[in-house]
Every structure is written in structure tokens, then in C-alpha cells.
Amino acid sequence: MTVPRLAPHATTIFAEVSQLATRHDAINLGQGFPDTDGPGSMIEAAVRALREGHNQYPPGPGVTELRHAIADVERASTGLVRDPDSEVLVTVGATEAIAGAVVGLVDDDDEVVVIEPYYDSYAATIAMAGAVRNSARLVLSDGRFRLDVGSLRAAFSPRTRAIIVNTPHNPTGAVLPREDLEEIAALCREFDAIAISDEVYEHLTFDGIEHISIATLPGMAERTLRISSAGKMLNCTGWKVGWVTGPAELVAGVRTAKQYMSFTGATPLQIAVAHALRHEQEWITSLRSGMQDRRDQLATVLEGVGFDLVVAQGTYFVTADPRPLGVTDAAAWCLELPERIGVAAVPFTPFVDTFADEWSHLVRFAYCKRPEVLDEAGRRLQSLTR
Ligand SMILES: *Cc1c(COP(=O)(O)O)cnc(C)c1O
């Protein structure tokens, strides 16, 4: 009975793969969540907050101490100066920040540009807003994913209200270089569009590659909403503490929508994340090097088995091409895999639309798992070579 505008988003192959993984007791390298906890002091801060009676609604925009911590950390890492009261909003994960930005700032029939492949919530929230989705795309060039500038120009029009940008990028693991972000910024300025910038993997870049926020490019601070989340930063994806920062008039639009989506998130968890942002920056830095090791561990296995890989520059994910193993329909193959070898991965199908044919052979594996889990996954994957 789902309404027609949401019906195409009703079920995802993610859910299907995860169900199969559970049924066949497979190692789930499909869904991107870590299997270890965040910093101990953060967990203790949450317990303390629960015991000390911080159990009622926080202020609408989020716990004051967290908004101040977000503004301070952002200023230190990007140089952006945001007012914690009017330019920082705490949300129920990055997911709500994205939905709030689209629903609160994009009108019926306005156009929103997305870049394929894209995180699956973008298309669904654009549909909720009754807006029109126009796709640009990434292309593989010299062994890395880059923006296809021609497709980007073609996707913009005078009706474009916003573009959703994601770097470091899920599902590909790409980190967009400055030149690509400059192309996006130039079109935003030309068409007076806003950038909704999903930077949940901002701390997870490897090999010394720098994450650049589009908000820091000329003329962009005043037209960018920068979104991040404690989930990927602090290994607490189940806490759903996210945030958005930007100019007051844009944040006000998100706040208006967010106010009636969830009103507020969980107070004790916001207090604990504030503690972690203040005191656990070293932990956040060490997560990056640990994740790079996990990336290398899984990449070695996958290459040994015979996959073609695109080196992940960041995130939790690596893009694998299973065609050398004789696989042509990646979606069908991912549905067989849990039963066949006890490992789950996801195809690119949920992340693509207009350019689906170009991506239908690719698979995403997550490496945000303990080394021993990746070892066991490696043993199981070996059976593909036989
Ligand atoms: C995980 C993820 C999100 C959602 O973040 P939450 O804080 O869990 O809501 C948003 N965007 C991307 C690209 C993600 O990978």
C-alpha cells in the first residue's frame, strides 16, 4: 500500500542480502557497520548520563555542549566558523540530516542532482520531497573513480535547487579530489544551487589522501550544508547521533523539517558524543590507520581469489569486479553467495539508476570488521577459486 512516489524504494537488495546472511550464518561484508565498540570513555559517559538523570528531551537543536563541540572540531579541521546556536543542528544520524535538508529546502518539482552511484537514502528522500532527481555519474579513469564533468553539466538546469555530494564516497571508496569538487562548486554558484555534503567518512581516508569539504571552496561556505555523524567516526552506528552545519538560513530549513520528523534524538548519547569529540580525537585518528590495515587485509584476499579491485581511498568499502571469476550478473551472484560460501556482499544495483548498466557487474565489500573475521571471510572466499 506504499504511495507510488515511494514504492520504488520499498524494498532493497541490502535487506535481502542481510536476511540471507543471517539465514545461512554468513559473514556479512554487505552492510557497513563495525564489529567493535567506540572509545570506552564515550560508553562510560553515556552510562553516567543515563544514571545522572539526563533522560528527558534535549533542546530542539541538540544538547548545547555537543553543538559547541561540533563547531569547535569543525573549525579546527576545516577553518569554517559556525555559530553553535544557529548554524549547528544535531540530528538522528546523518540520515535525518539528509532527509531534513531535502524536505526542508527543496520544493515540489525543484530538481536535485545526485552523482551515481549514490547512497540509497538520497533518492528516497528526494521522492519524499516530491522533487525531481537528475543523475550525474562517476567514471573509472586510470584506476580511480572521478567525476564525469560532462554528465554533471548536463544534470544541472535553472530548476536545480541542490546537489547531494558524498566524499569520501560510499559505495566506491573514492575520495573526490579538489578539481572535481571545484567543478561542482562552479555549477552551484552558476545556478545558485546549494550543496548538501555528506561527509560521514570525513576521518576515514587512507595513504595520506586528504579529505576536502566542498564547504571550504570559494563561495561555498554560504551555500553548503555539511553533514557528518558519530556513527562512522566513533564506531557507534546504532546510536544515530548525526549533525549538520551551515549558514543559519539553510540550517533553519533543516530544523523546520527535523522538528516534525523526530523532534530530538537521545539526550544521554548526545552528551557522550560531545565527550568523545572533546577527548577522543586520538582514538578517531587511530581508527583511520586501523581501517587502512583492514582494507589492505581484505584487498589481498580478494585479489588472491581473482577479483579486479579499485583501490579504496577511504570509507569502509572496496569496489570489486568479479568478472574475472566468470560472474556477469553481480546482483544474482550476491544473492547466491551467502548460501554458497558463507560470505555476503552487495551489488551496486541499489546505488544506481540512470546509469545502471554501467555498474551492474560491480560488488561492494565492507572491511570494517575485526582482523579475525576478515581472516575467516578470506578462507571462505578461497573456495571461489576452486
Ligand atoms: C552510513 C551512511 C549514512 C548514514 O549515517 P547515519 O549517521 O547512520 O544516519 C549516510 N551517508 C553515507 C554515505 C553513509 O555511508
The pLDDT score that the predictor gives to residue 386 is 60
Asked if pLDDT for residue 353 goes beyond 80, the answer is: yes
Q: Which residues contact 193 (CB under 8 A, 6 or more apart)?
A: 113, 156, 160, 161, 162, 163, 187, 223
Read off the C-alpha cell for 171: 559505495
The pLDDT score that the predictor gives to residue 26 is 97
Which residue, 374, 199, 209, is CA-closest to 295?
374
Atom of ligand 1 nearest to the CA of 316: 15
Q: What is the pLDDT of residues 232-290, one digit of tens each?
A: 999 999 999 999 999 999 999 999 999 999 999 999 999 999 999 999 999 999 999 99
Cβ of 237 closer than 6 Å to ligand 1, yes or no, is yes
Q: Give the whole-angstrom CA distance, residue 235 versus residue 39.
A: 8
Axis-axis angle for helices 13-23, 330-341 (nearest 10): 20
Asked if pLDDT for residue 173 goes beyond 80, the answer is: yes
The tally of CA atoms less than 13 A away on the side-chain side of residue 241 is 26
Cβ of 166 closer than 6 Å to ligand 1, yes or no, is yes
Q: In angstroms, what is the span from residue 316 Cα to ligand 1's centroid?
A: 11
DSSP 210-278: PP--GGGSTTTGGGEEEEEEHHHHTT-TTT-EEEEE--HHHHHHHHHHHHHHTS---HHHHHHHHHHHH
- Label residue 15 by pLDDT band (50, 70, 90): confident
Number of Cβ within a 10 Å radius of residue 64: 15
Read off the C-alpha cell for 31: 552492510
> Ligand 1: which of 204, 229, 262, 269 to mutate, most ligand atoms within 8 Å of CB?
229
The tally of CA atoms less than 13 A away on the side-chain side of residue 48 is 11
- Label residue 328 by pLDDT band (50, 70, 90): confident
Residue nearest to atom 13 of ligand 1 (CA): 170
Burial of residue 50 (CB within 10 Å: 0-12, 13-18, 19+) is middle
Q: What is the pLDDT of residues 63-118, one digit of tens each?
A: 999 999 999 999 999 999 999 999 999 999 999 999 999 999 999 999 999 999 99
Cβ of 229 closer than 6 Å to ligand 1, yes or no, is yes
Cβ of 351 closer than 6 Å to ligand 1, yes or no, is no
Is this prediction's pTM over 0.95? yes
Q: Give me the residue label for grid cell 534535549.
A: 58
The pLDDT score that the predictor gives to residue 343 is 98
Cβ of 167 closer than 6 Å to ligand 1, yes or no, is no
Q: Which residues contact 19 (CB under 8 A, 6 or more apart)?
A: none
Summary mean pLDDT of the chain: 96
Asked if pLDDT for residue 213 goes beyond 70, the answer is: yes
DSSP 326-358: T---HHHHHHHHHHHHSEE-EESGGG-STTHHH
